[in-house]
């Protein structure tokens, strides 16, 4: 029921996801009176969707601890519990991120060997169909090098299982490529990464302008830097889109130009479709769906402001991880690398 | 003599800057045999340019301490010394950033009241002709809240003097807008900012996607986050440009479309100029020229990979600060706010 335009986007998203994942089945938690008419709009959707009435909900303003205490019957919590009970393979929510993480940690439990779950997404790159896993997106503002190492394991398995990279190239986000560059955390983490066994190969530092070159498969950073980076990308893309619109809309000369082009309608149509194709490649909806990694069950966070297409994409991420049996594979990998049973690490530089 | 394409871009930049700043005079340090023929290419340039022969140079690979020790006769060092001696109002270099900062600190000295100089730039925003000052871009990977406060003072005076904002809106970069969000540094800095007198108004937190909305005049962060953010913007803009080119180049259909449009040449020309105008607004060369702030003299860092247009823009930044008597105004402001003579602060969270 979460997100700015819920529950419409959730129902529409499920409808759209059906085409690509015909074997998918849905349990939807929320207010029946609101949901029933929405589901009816899409023919046949009710045959793959079970509706469970829940009037309670977590709002965007609820603090994580508060949601955890008083949201036991909320749609978010019950959907997570369905994964914990094995009734569902994955939960997808467009609601409050902090509450989702707190509830998912409580109900699904953190994997043995992982101290802090993280949020990961894949970034578009110059290389078509080659996404780079980027994390943490903000679950852990303060991190230790051990936290970053665990993120690298989670990201490495993600890249291997979902993007089929045999040996993912794993990098640490930094402000230069030389060993002496960066803050204490990243320098300590680099030492740890060089010694550690990883599901992939540690290739050193990646800079901010290298996140989307396709030269790296997994890029790891703390949640503060990761969140700022992700939002900076969004902001830059929005600004460019805005400036482009402005360049075309502001001037009557451009309108005159388009008028001149009218005799060449087929040509304009083709250019229009090229622009459309480009727009789709940079459309954030097609990259929607961040994964909460390090939990004993699958949990996907959709952007709160997305639409049905975006939500369907988040369902697609969930389907990919569920079909690939991601959770089992991470647990096996953690055992193989000897990550289980390590004590809780301290943030680098803490007294 | 620094930068990937020096000294060509330096000479061409000076030539281009002459048109906009006819009163500007240049002292150029470098290899005379290389420079003399370049200067001759631009008529009248030699009448506003004094050439001082210096065969020594700092390379891109020199470590700051090494450059400081052995680069006493390098073009970079002598150009900085010219500012220290009062022979020049500002130094502009496209060379090694670390070496430039180390030499500038040594030769120009840090202002009383400032513990660590920072690097600032202005970011394009949705609002035409409204740049947002963003800093630190990487001079200080590790910061204390006092460091950030000093950056805010420097940025506030920059915004007021160069962009004529009467009361600059100053924000801290963070991962959310609520008080509880962020890491220890940003929370401590927010407390300090609320108590402090600033050349402007502290308006709270700005997120990554708000850097370029035009809602803030100065955005302050540590050098690690700032550097990653700046490079992420560059990377995002490059990726979008690449994808756009690809959408237009890859398909024979698009070429056919352009062929169809040929009868409407005037229309195409107008659309082409709209695209050009847009390209110019997102062209990093027009935002080139980062300022080393907090020193007793003016020092501007040009991007190493820029061209003559970009270098001319960096000269423009220098001219703006020199004409506005920026250094004097910062010193006055620091005295007024009582920043002088405070002890060196410790990074937040350090033992």
pLDDT for B41 equals 95
| Beta carbons of A261 and B269 less than 8 Å apart | no
Task: Report the gap between the CA of A39 and the closest CA in chain B (Å).
Answer: 34
Q: Are A287 and A124 in contact (CB under 8 A)?
A: yes
Mutate to test the interface with A, among B147, B228, B349 (most CBs of A within 10 A): B228
Residue B225 distance to chain A (closest CA, Å): 6
The predicted structure's pLDDT at residue B204: 97
User: Within an 8 Å CB–CB cutoff, is residue A273 touching chain B?
Assistant: yes
CB contact under 8 A, A228 and B173: yes
Looking at residue B350, its pLDDT comes to 47
Band of the pLDDT at B264, cuts 50, 70, 90? low
Over chain B, what is the mean pLDDT?
89
CB pairs under 8 A between A and B: 226
Q: What is the mean pLDDT of residues B66-73?
A: 93
Q: Does A213 touch chain B (CB under 8 A)?
A: yes
- Give the SS3 label for residue B95: coil
Can you give the pLDDT at residue A244? 79
**Partner-chain residue, chosen from B243, B268, B278, that has the shortest CB–CB distance to A261:** B268
Nearest CA in chain B to A235: B209
Residue A4, chain B, CB below 8 Å: the answer is no
Point out the least confidently predicted range of A3-12, A296-305, B24-33, B335-344.
B335-344
Q: Are A109 and A15 in contact (CB under 8 A)?
A: no
Chain A neighbors of B236, CB-CB under 8 A: 212, 232-233, 236-237, 240
pLDDT at B351 (0 to 100): 38
Contact criterion met (CB < 8 Å) for B239 and A142: no
Question: Is the CB of A236 less than 8 angstroms away from the CB of B232?
Answer: yes
Contact call for residues A302 and A100 (beta carbons, < 8 A): no
Reported confidence tier of residue A351, pLDDT bands at 50, 70, 90:
very low
Query: Residue B91: is its pLDDT beyond 70?
Result: yes
B208/A258 touch (CB, cutoff 8 Å), yes or no: no
Q: How many C-beta atoms lie closer than 10 Å to residue A107's C-beta?
A: 23
Q: Which of B124, B142, B266 lies nearest to residue A184, judging by beta carbons?
A: B142
At residue A210, the pLDDT reads 96
Cβ–Cβ below 8 Å for B247 and A281:
yes
**pLDDT tens-digit readout, A122-161:** 998 998 888 899 999 999 999 999 999 999 999 999 999 8
B275 vs A contacts (CB less than 8 Å)? 247
B274/A256 Cβ within 8 A? no
Structure tokens at B293: 């702030």
Peptide bond connecting A136 to the previous residue in cis, omega within 30 degrees of 0: yes
The more confident residue out of B65 and A177 is B65
Q: What is the distance in angstroms between the Cα of B32 and the nearest Cα belonging to chain A?
A: 33
pLDDT at A317 over 50: yes
Q: Which string of b and e fits A68-84 if b means at least 16 CB within 10 Å?
A: beebeebbbbbbbbbbb
Nearest residue on chain A to B232, alpha-carbon basis: A208
- Interface contact flag, B224 A278, Cβ < 8 Å: no
Q: What is the pLDDT of residue A152?
A: 97
Confidence of residue A226 (pLDDT cuts 50, 70, 90): very high
SS3 of residue A313 by DSSP: helix
Q: Can you give the pLDDT at residue A260? A: 66
CB-based contact (8 Å) between B351 and chain A?
Answer: yes
CB contacts, 8 Å: A221 with chain B: 228
Average pLDDT over residues A65-77: 94
Beta bridge mates, B90: B298
Confidence band of B4 (pLDDT split at 50, 70, 90): confident
Q: Who among B251, B259, B349 is closest to A274 (CB)?
A: B251
Report yes or no: A55 at the B interface, CB cutoff 8 Å.
no
Residues 173-202 of A with CB under 8 A from B: 173-175, 180-184, 186
Question: CB neighbours (10 Å) of residue B4?
Answer: 12
Q: Is A305 on the interface with B (CB under 8 A)?
A: no
pLDDT of residue A264: 66
Nearest neighbour of B258 by CB, restricted to A236, A239, A267 = A267
The string of pLDDT tens digits covering residues A197-222 is: 999 999 999 999 999 999 999 999 99
- Least Cα distance to B178 among B152, B200, B207, B148 occurs for B207
Question: In the predicted model, is pLDDT for residue B266 greater than 70?
Answer: no
Flag if B175 and A258 touch (Cβ within 8 Å): no
Higher pLDDT, A5 or B347: A5
List phi, psi (to 5°) of B88.
-130, 155
ipTM of predicted complex: 0.88
Question: A64 and A41 in contact (C-beta within 8 Å)?
Answer: no
Taking the CA atoms of A165, A329, A295 and A192 in sequence, report the sign of the dihedral they define. Answer: negative
For residue B173, give the chain A residue with the closest CA: A228
**Run of H or E including B11:** helix B8-20
- Read off the DSSP letter of residue A209: G
How many Å lie between the alpha carbon of A88 and the closest alpha carbon of chain B? Answer: 32
DSSP B114-177: -SS-EEEEEE--SSTT--EEEE-SSS-SS--HHHHHHHHHHHHHHHHHHS--SS-EEEEE-S-S
How far does CA B14 lie from the centroid of its chain? 17
Q: Do A259 and B253 touch (CB under 8 A)?
A: no
Give the pLDDT of residue A5. Answer: 77
Q: What angle do CA A122, A126, A131 make, to 5 degrees?
A: 20
Residues 98-127 of chain B with CB under 8 A from chain A are 124-126
**Cα–Cα–Cα angle for B100, B106, B112, nearest 5°?**
115
Chain A contacts in chain B segment 241-260 (CB below 8 A): 242-244, 246-248, 251, 253-254, 256-260
Helix or strand holding residue B29 (H, E): strand B26-30
pLDDT at A97: 92
Is B223 an 8 Å CB contact of chain A? Answer: yes
Instruction: Point out the residue among B186, B209, B257 whose CB comes nearest to the CB of A267.
Output: B257
* B39: its two tokens: 């200067």
CB contacts, 8 Å: B243 with chain A: 126, 278, 281-282
Q: Is the dihedral of CA A175, A177, A178, A183 positive or negative?
A: positive
Which residues on A lie below 8 Å from B207 (Cβ)? 228, 231
What average pLDDT does range A244-253 have in this prediction? 70
Residues of B in contact with A262 (CB under 8 A): 264, 267
Confirm if B308 and B8 have CB atoms less than 8 A apart.
Answer: yes
Q: What pLDDT does A128 receive? A: 83
Q: Does B293 touch chain A (CB under 8 A)?
A: no
Q: Which residue of B has its CA nearest to A185?
A: B142
A143 to chain B, any CB pair closer than 8 A? The answer is no
Q: State the Cα angle at A136 between A186 and A18, rounded to 5°.
A: 155
Cβ-based contacts of B148 with chain A (< 8 Å): none
Among A97, A224, A259, the strongest candidate for a mutation testing the B interface, having the largest count of B CBs within 10 A, is A224
Q: Answer whether A225 touches B (CB < 8 Å).
A: yes
Q: Quick check: B299 pLDDT over 60?
A: yes
pLDDT at B346: 63
Q: Could you tell me the pLDDT band of residue B154, with boundaries at 50, 70 and 90? A: very high
Of B167 and A275, the structure prediction assigns the larger pLDDT to B167
B20 or A83, greater pLDDT: A83
Nearest residue of A to residue B214, measured between CA atoms: A239
Q: What is the mean pLDDT of residues B328-341?
A: 87
Question: Per-residue pLDDT averaged across B147-167, rounded?
Answer: 94
**Which candidate, A168, A239, A284, places its Cα nearest to that of B123?**
A239
Q: Do B208 and A228 touch (CB under 8 A)?
A: yes
C-beta separation of B180 from B146 below 8 A: no
Structure tokens at A147: 């936290």
């Amino acid at each position: 029921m979460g997100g700015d335009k819920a529950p419409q986007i959730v129902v529409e998203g499920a409808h759209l996801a059906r085409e690509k994942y015909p074997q998918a089945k849905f349990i939807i938690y929320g207010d029946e009176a609101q949901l029933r008419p929405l589901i009816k709009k899409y023919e046949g959707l009710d045959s793959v969707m079970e509706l469970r009435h829940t009037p309670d909900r977590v709002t965007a303003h609820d603090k994580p601890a508060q949601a955890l205490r008083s949201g036991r019957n909320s749609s978010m919590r019950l959907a997570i519990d369905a994964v914990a009970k094995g009734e569902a393979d994955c939960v997808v929510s467009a609601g409050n991120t902090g509450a989702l993480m707190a509830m998912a940690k409580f109900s699904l439990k953190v994997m043995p060997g992982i101290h802090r779950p993280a949020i990961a997404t894949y970034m578009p790159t110059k290389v078509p169909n080659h996404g780079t896993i980027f994390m943490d997106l903000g679950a852990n503002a303060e991190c230790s090098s051990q936290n970053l190492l665990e993120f690298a394991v989670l990201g490495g398995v993600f890249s291997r299982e979902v993007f089929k990279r045999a040996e993912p190239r794993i990098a640490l986000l930094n402000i230069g490529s030389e060993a002496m560059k960066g803050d204490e955390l990243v320098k300590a983490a680099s030492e740890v990464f060089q010694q550690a066994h990883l599901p992939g190969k540690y290739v050193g530092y990646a800079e901010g302008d290298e996140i989307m070159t396709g030269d790296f498969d997994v890029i790891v950073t703390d949640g503060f830097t990761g969140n700022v980076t992700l939002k900076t990308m969004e902001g830059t893309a929005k600004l460019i889109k805005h400036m482009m619109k402005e360049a075309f809309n502001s001037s009557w000369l451009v309108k005159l130009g388009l008028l001149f082009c009218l005799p060449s309608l087929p040509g304009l149509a083709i250019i229009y479709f090229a622009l459309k194709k480009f727009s789709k490649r940079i459309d954030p909806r097609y990259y929607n769906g961040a994964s909460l990694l390090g939990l004993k069950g699958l949990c996907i966070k959709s952007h709160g402001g997305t639409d049905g297409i975006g939500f369907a994409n988040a369902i697609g991420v969930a389907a990919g991880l569920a079909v690939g049996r991601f959770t089992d594979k991470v647990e096996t990998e953690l055992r193989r690398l000897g990550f289980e049973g390590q004590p809780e690490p301290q943030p680098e530089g803490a007294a």
